[in-house]
Amino acid sequence: MKVVLLVAAFVAVPSIAFAASDPDCTAEWAQADANKDGVLHGPEADRYLAYIRIRAQTSPQNGKITQEAFMAACKADTFKAQAPEQGAPLKGANSFTENQAKDRAVAAGVNDVSTLQKDADGIWRGKGKKAGSDVEIAVDFKGNVVTQ
C-alpha cells in the first residue's frame, strides 16, 4: 500500500526543471564576455538581451549586462535555448511584432537580421547570418525559429 501511494505521489507531481549550474553559467559568461571587460554590451550582449526581452519582458535600459545580472538570469534558465517544434514553422495567427520576432531569431543565434515580413500564413520571414553563413529565417506564432 505504501509503495502505491509513493508512486502515485511521484506521478501527481509535475517534473521539476533543473536550473543551470554555477560552473555552466561561469563557462557561458567566460565565452560571452569576449573582450573580458566584465560587462556584456554591443554585439556580445545582443543574444542575451533578446532572451531577457523574450523571457522577462524587459531589458536593461543601458543595453549592458553585468556579470551578476548574467549569472542570475543564467541560473534561472533565461538563456536556455528551445528546439523548434516538429513541423515548424507553423501556420497561424501571429501576434508578435516584427521586433518580437527579430528577438526570437537573435536569441536563436541569428545575426544581422534583415527586415522581417509577415506572410499570408502568419509567419515572419527574413534573412540573416548564423555561424557565418547566410540563412533564411522563419518565426511562427509560437515563437519557433527555423533557419535554412
Q: Could you tell me which CATH class the domain 2-75 is placed in?
A: mainly alpha
| Helices and strands: H and E segment counts in the chain | 5, 6
> Does residue 37 surpass a pLDDT of 50?
yes
pLDDT tens digit string along 52-97? 999 987 777 799 999 999 999 999 999 998 899 999 999 999 999 9
User: Could you tell me if 147 and 110 are in contact, meaning their C-beta atoms sit under 8 angstroms apart?
Assistant: yes
Which own/partner pairs from 12-17 qualify as long-range (CB within 8 Å, at least 24 positions apart)?
Answer: 17/77
The structure's pTM equals 0.83
How far does the chain reach from its first CA to its final CA, in angstroms? 54
> Does residue 118 surpass a pLDDT of 60?
yes
Cβ neighbours of 85 (radius 10 Å)? 13
